[in-house]
Amino acid sequence: MFFYYLNDVKIRLGIIITHFLRYYDMQGKRILTISALICLMMTAATAQTRKIQYRPYTDLRPTHFGILVGMNMQDIEFENVGPQTITLDDGTTQQQTVVCDADRWNAGFSVGVLVDQRLTNHLNVRFSPTMHFGAKHLTFRNLTDLDAEGRPKVERQDMKNTYVSFPLDLKFSAQRWNNYRPYLMAGINPMVNLTGKNDDFIQLKRTDVMVEVGIGCDFYLPFFKLIPELKFCYSLKDALDHNHVNELKDANKKVYANSVGSGHTKMIVLTFYFE
């Protein structure tokens, strides 16, 4: 009903603008008047009727199935420990300060399946097992070990990650209008890390748990429903494997491995669901 009132207001506003333009444009601005009328008529024609609704009963089904593909951006947030005391080969001790940072977001690929269970007209619960392929780029700067120009020694690590995630989300949908329906989502996402190298400076634990929130929109097409979604994921626990430093054979790497006290993984995921 709101859209019909809005349409009536647009028509009345168009009549007023038309008379205003005609009154002041007696000497040659009739083209502007005609253009304004055409624009208002096109707007009114677009707003006054609903479009044909594709798949009108698809949301009434108790269970939906689908597939998903998308891309992810991985990052990790570190807490550096600051100065640390190390023992040199000659038995003496020395303080060194190493700072670690994930200096950029890295793009990856995501693929999975979807099971959607309808609870109410506006609330659904979703389970979508997904594989995320990506990487994190880490940079270590030894502020104690400087070169001739005063720049710290830099070490880098490309941390390849393949996660299998099992997110369980609640989907809060608005009222459908024509062939789209926006929504908000939130949930919990347990993850299993399938990759890791023993010679890396830092290694992540095999399991992690993330909280995730996001927005999306259902687009109803003639033969299927397309659902683009953007969500943000953040780790709820320390994701670092602190026992990994004991497995390093190179003593020079341990100062870098011990430079980080904790780490929380983060992801931004753009997903396209097909139901």
Domain assignment present for residue 72? The answer is yes
User: Which pLDDT score, from 0 to 100, does residue 144 have?
Assistant: 80
Q: Please give the distance of CA 70 from its chain centroid, rounded to a whole number.
A: 10
Domain assignment present for residue 163? The answer is yes
For residues 126 and 229, state if they share a domain: yes
Domain assignment present for residue 53? The answer is no
For residues 10 and 100, state if they share a domain: no
For residues 106 and 17, state if they share a domain: no
Domain assignment present for residue 128? The answer is yes
Q: What is the pLDDT of residues 212-257, one digit of tens each?
A: 999 999 999 999 999 999 999 999 999 888 888 888 877 777 888 8
d(C-alpha 263, C-alpha 244), whole Å: 14
For residues 247 and 176, state if they share a domain: yes
Domain assignment present for residue 226? The answer is yes
For residues 73 and 21, state if they share a domain: no
> CATH number, domain at 128?
2.40.160.20
Domain assignment present for residue 78? The answer is yes
Structural domain boundaries enclosing 97:
58-274
Give me 68's structure tokens: 């998903």
d(C-alpha 155, C-alpha 147), whole Å: 13
For residues 145 and 12, state if they share a domain: no
d(C-alpha 275, C-alpha 265), whole Å: 30
pLDDT digit string (tens) for the chain, length 275 residues: 434 444 444 444 444 444 444 544 444 444 444 444 444 444 444 444 677 888 888 888 999 899 999 999 998 888 887 777 776 666 667 777 888 888 788 889 999 999 999 999 999 999 999 999 998 888 888 888 777 777 888 888 888 889 999 999 999 999 999 999 999 999 999 999 988 767 788 888 899 999 999 999 999 999 999 999 999 999 999 988 888 888 887 777 788 888 888 889 999 999 999 99
For residues 126 and 159, state if they share a domain: yes
For 110, what's the count of Cα atoms within 13 Å in the CB-facing half-sphere? Answer: 29
Contact call for residues 182 and 174 (beta carbons, < 8 A): yes
d(C-alpha 223, C-alpha 275), whole Å: 9
For residues 8 and 29, state if they share a domain: yes
For residues 9 and 84, state if they share a domain: no
- Contacts of 152 by beta carbon, 8 Å cutoff, 6+ apart: 141, 142, 143, 144, 145, 146
For residues 43 and 67, state if they share a domain: no
For residues 179 and 234, state if they share a domain: yes
Contact call for residues 222 and 258 (beta carbons, < 8 A): no
For residues 69 and 7, state if they share a domain: no
Domain count, the chain: 2
The three state secondary structure string of the chain is CHHHHHHHHHHHHHHHHHHHHHHHCCCCCHHHHHHHHHHHHHHHHHHCCCCCCCCCCHHHCCEEEEEEEEEEEEEEEEEECCEEEEECCCCCEEEEEEEEEEEECEEEEEEEEEEEEECCCCEEEEECCEEEEEEEEEEEEEEEEECCCCCEEEEEEEEEEEEEECCEEEEEECCCECCEEEEEEEEEEEEEECCCCCCCCCCECCEEEEEEEEEEEEEECCCCEEEEEEEEEEECCCCECCCHHHHCCCHHHHHHHCCEEEEEEEEEEEEEEEC
Domain assignment present for residue 119? The answer is yes
Domain assignment present for residue 52? The answer is no
